[in-house]
Structures are given as C-alpha cells and as structure tokens.
Amino acid sequence: MSRRRTFGSIRMLSSGRYQARYTSPDGARHRGPRSFATKAEASQWLAKIETEFARGTWTDPGAGRVSLDGYARSWVETRTNLRPRTVDLYESLLEHHIVPALGDHEIGTLTAGTVRRWYAQLVRRSGAGSLTPAKSYRLLRTILNTAVADGLIATNPCTIVGGGIERSAERPVATLAQVWALADAVPTHFRSLVLTAAFGGLRFGELAGLTRECVDLPAGTITVRRALVQRDDGTLQLGPPKSEAGRRTFTIPAALVPELSLHLDRYVEQSDDALVFVGAKGARLRRSNWSVLWRKATEQLGIPGLRLHDLRHTCNTLTAATGASTRELMHRMGHASPRAALRYQHATRERDVVIATALDQIIQEGTT
C-alpha cells in the first residue's frame, strides 16, 4: 500500500501530464514551473521542495522576478557607507558593463552559465591587462550575495573561481634621482607635493586634503584625517580617507622636513585649516588640472606614463627595504589588508636574493 502524500498535491491534466502544487509557510499556493510526464517525476519535484523547506533554503519562485537593472541600482542607492568615488565607480560599471548585457534579466533567471558567458565576452572586449572584468564581476557577485540574503534567490550564480581577482600589470617605481628631478620639473609651489608623495607615500586625495594642522614639523609627523575627492561630475568633496585605516599619523624622513617647512612659510596660510597644497590661484587642487602639469614634467624627463601614484610605490618599496614589518607597512600605507604590504616585502626579498647572489660572486672571485 502506497504512503499517503503529506506535502503538496499532484493532479493529472487533460493532456495526460501531471501538475504539482504546494502551499508555502505564508499560506500562498504555488505550482511547479512546468508539467511533468509522469506522476513519479512530479512527486520527486515536490520532495525536492519539501527538503528545501526543511533546510531553510526555499525561496519564493516569484521573488526573483525583479530585473537585475532595477535591483542593482536600488542596491547602490541603499549602500550608505560607500565613498563618493566608489559610488561613481559602481554606477559606471553598471552603466557600461553589467546592465547592457544582463540588466533585462530577472535575477531569478540568472544562471552560472549566463554569468560565465557575460564574463568571457567582457574579458575579450576589454583586452589583456584590463581590470574592468574583475571589478565588474566582483560588483555583480556582491549585489547577488545581497539578493541571496534578501531571500530573492537561493544561490549566487557568480561561481567563477578567481573571476574577481585583479591582476594588475607591474607599475614602474621611480628612482630617487627621478624623484628629485620631478620635484625640480614641476612648478615651484608643487615641489614639496612631489616629495611628500615620494617620501610620505600619500595618495593624491590625501595630499589635496592635507591641512596645516596635520603637519607637525617639530615632531616630524604627518596626520592624515581627510581626503579631497573629485567626483565624475567634477564636484570636489572633502571627506574621510579611502578606508578607516587611512586615518593615520606617521613620522616622515628628516630630509622632507626642510622642504615642507619652506613650503608652509611661502605658500600656506597661517590658519590651522588652511590646505597645504592648492592650485596656482589658491583654489582646491583638482586631479584634472594637476595631470596636465604632471604629464608635462614626466615627458620632459623622458618617463612618460609614470603616475604620481607610482611615487607611493617608490615610498613603500623604500620602506620595505628598511626591514619594516607587515604591520608597520600597513600603518604607513594606510591599508586595512596586509596584501599590498606583503607585495612590497616580497619585492624586497627578491632584491635581497639578487644582492646575496652578487655577493657570492664577489666572494667566489676573491677566493680563486
């Protein structure tokens, strides 16, 4: 004698196929997404749904019918902790790389295969070395993780191993000779900005947001409290650094002290909140205006393509060479994660092997 069904029901349709139905905990009635050829198939499908209820993994099949476009834009709007530049980045990635290909899909219909095809096309279109595919994939995965938490979908279809890892091309590291040459090549009132970037390791926004009260020359320290951000629409916004770890106080090399002292005396107003680095006419420093001056200086010195941010790499490489610990590097760099610090330490270890090899050659030549 067959056991009486306790979950759901099955009925035969006029076509001879079978339809499965069940009631969810909220009292709503649901049908299977399709009819089944046999009663056994319908029964197996109901058993699967019953198991999902027992495990707490069931999701309302109608919940995922919101479009990815609508859900993603709402997701950005409701993230109140995002930095302004991060909002600009996310909106750009959605507008140019995610929504055109996937925006019309209901999030409940997105499959791992759909995501893989989109990602592969984006990689081919973006070209080798582009960070866009990784950034776009990481954003999509994060958005859909929230959809899982919201109960709109059962699992995240973003399953590409390593899809969100950025594989950046190795950036150049300016030599000390190039640093001093660049400081001489830019307009005089920007000389100490270049040197502070190279010997203090500050980001452009941190340099542009630095105020007189944050530079303590008797103590030989700089405190980073704010950063000036230029949005995609051109507006400037003074706010906290890139991350909480970006708030930091660190000691600067003694060679930088007289340079900053002269700069403060000549170009900076006496009030504590006076910006240390400003444009030629005293206005807040814009990345777009600075880029013109920087490009001219690098081309003049025969190092086109070098970015101001590359001077931060110079600083961190020199700091790692002193034997600074991972935690010390993270503090000076303003990083919450040890990943970047470990990269600089790895580069230093590689250089250490080269030095040891050269020493060994000298020793061998001297003993033969």
User: Which residues are paired to 239 by β-bridges?
Assistant: 227
Alpha helices in the chain (DSSP H): 39-55, 68-77, 84-93, 99-102, 112-126, 132-149, 176-185, 191-200, 204-208, 257-267, 287-300, 308-321, 326-333, 339-366
- Compute the distance between CA of residue 202 and CA of residue 247 in angstroms, rounded to an integer: 11
Measure the CA–CA gap between 77 and 91, rounded to whole angstroms: 10
Task: Cite the active site residues.
Answer: 203, 309, 312, 335, 344
- Residue 277 near residue 264 (C-beta atoms within 8 A): no
Task: Report CA Rg, the chain.
Answer: 29
Cβ(144)–Cβ(163) below 8 Å: no
From residue 162, alpha-carbon distances to 14, 76, 118, 190, 277 in Å are: 50, 24, 15, 41, 40
The contacts of residue 150 (CB under 8 Å, 6+ apart) are none
- Reported for 81-86, long-range contacts at CB under 8 A and 24+ positions apart, including other chains, are 83/229, 83/239, 83/240, 83/242, 84/229, 84/231, 84/237, 84/239, 85/229, 85/231
